[in-house]
Amino acid sequence: MKYICLLFFCSITQFTMAEATTEVATTYFAFPQTWFWCTGRVTLENDVVLEGDISYDLKFEALQVKTGNVTRTFTAENITVFEMFDPIKYRHRKYVAVDHIMDEGYKRKTFFEVLADGEITILRKSRYLRRPRITEDFRAPHIYLNAVCRHTYYIYQGEQFAEIEDFKSQVLPLMQSHRKKVDDYVRRCELKLQEIHEQMRVVILYNQLVLEERNDKLLSESLGDE
């Protein structure tokens, strides 16, 4: 059964995400700066669940939720998690609100996209940056050519963030308990582990192997108690 799972992972459709800590034009990002609506589910901080059409404004980190004829706006301070179906990338996306130290030095809740969840949790932070016109005077920062979206990837463990700068030296060493199976999978599927979609395939595989091992142990203990 485990080998079937490994073969299944070899055929997983590749994620269409940019490389770690990189910039991509807004046309390649799923959520433009203007309001973009799709079906989703939101869990508020008080455990109230809202379902309907939702729109995530990445620039202002605001989430609009439309239920019936009522549209409400929330921030990360009001939300625990929200999920949506992205019709552009054609996949499910999940975001969590987590306390994080901002560039200015203070801490506040902000949204992170969950790329992998389990023994190893990988979060992605996306934000828009303005790129000035090359032909304009750089002393006039209000003049911009376009916006670019910057993605930063983190290992999230014990409520602590570790920015991923090198996947092979930072993430692969965390997989020692199943390193041989991971290495076999990488070799069999001819993964270079340079692109984020290949990296996430490996992380998801490892998380599944850890979960299977725990379930097998629980089953053995349960049978031993009978």
What residues contact residue 20 under an 8 Å CB cut-off, 6+ apart?
Answer: 151, 152, 153, 164, 165, 167, 196, 199
Run of H or E residues at 217:
helix 196-225
The 8-class DSSP code of residue 120 comes to: S
Are the beta carbons of 27 and 160 closer than 8 angstroms? no
Q: Tell me the average pLDDT across 57-80.
A: 92
Q: At 26, which amino acid appears?
A: T
Q: Of 76, 86, 84, 77, whose CA–CA distance to 15 is shortest?
A: 86
pTM of the prediction? Answer: 0.77
At residue 27, what are phi and psi to the nearest 5 degrees?
-65, -15
Tell me which residue of 40, 206, 15, 184 sits closest to 117, measured CA to CA. Answer: 206
Q: Give the confidence band of 220 by pLDDT, cuts at 50, 70, 90.
A: confident
Nearest to residue 95, comparing CAs of 43, 132, 148, 133? 43
Q: Which residues of 24-48 are buried (b: 16+ CB within 10 A; e: fewer)?
A: eeeeebbbbeeebebebbbbeeeee
Whether residue 164 contacts residue 153, with contact meaning beta carbons closer than 8 Å, is answered with yes
Average pLDDT of span 20-34:
38
Q: Compute the mean pLDDT over every residue in the chain, rounded to the nearest whole number.
A: 81
State percent of the chain over pLDDT 70: 75
Q: What are phi and psi of 167, to 5 degrees?
A: -60, -45
- How sure is the predictor about 154, in pLDDT bands with cuts at 50, 70 and 90? very high
CA 122 to chain centre: 6
Domain boundaries in the chain? 1-18+167-219, 21-164
Confidence of residue 24 (pLDDT cuts 50, 70, 90): very low
Q: Is residue 10 within 8 Å of residue 188, measured between CB atoms?
A: yes
C-alpha span between 82 and 113 (Å, rounded): 10
